[in-house]
A and B are shown apart, each in its own frame.
Chain A
Amino acid sequence: MAIVSRGFRGRRDQSVPLPPGQYVVKDFPVLSAGPTPRVQLDRWTFTITTEAGAEHAWTWEQFRALPTERFTVDIHCVTKWSKLDTSWEGVSLDTLLAGVDTSASFALVASYGGYTTNLPLADLRGGKAWVAHRFEGADLEPEHGGPARLLVPHLYLWKSAKWVRGFSLHAEDQAGFWETLGYHMYGDPWREQRYWGD
Chain B
Amino acid sequence: MNEFLNTLQKPWPWYVAGPLIGLTVPILLIIGNKSFGISSSLRHICAACFPANIKFFKYEWKKEAWNLFFVTGILLGGMVAATLLGSNEPLQVNDNLRLELATYGITDISALVPTEIFNFANLFTVQGFIMMVGGGFLVGFGTRYAGGCTSGHAIMGLSNLQLPSLIATCCFMAGGFIMANLILPYILSL
A pairs with B: no
Could you tell me which A residues sit within 8 Å of B by CB distance?
none
Could you tell me which B residues sit within 8 Å of A by CB distance?
none
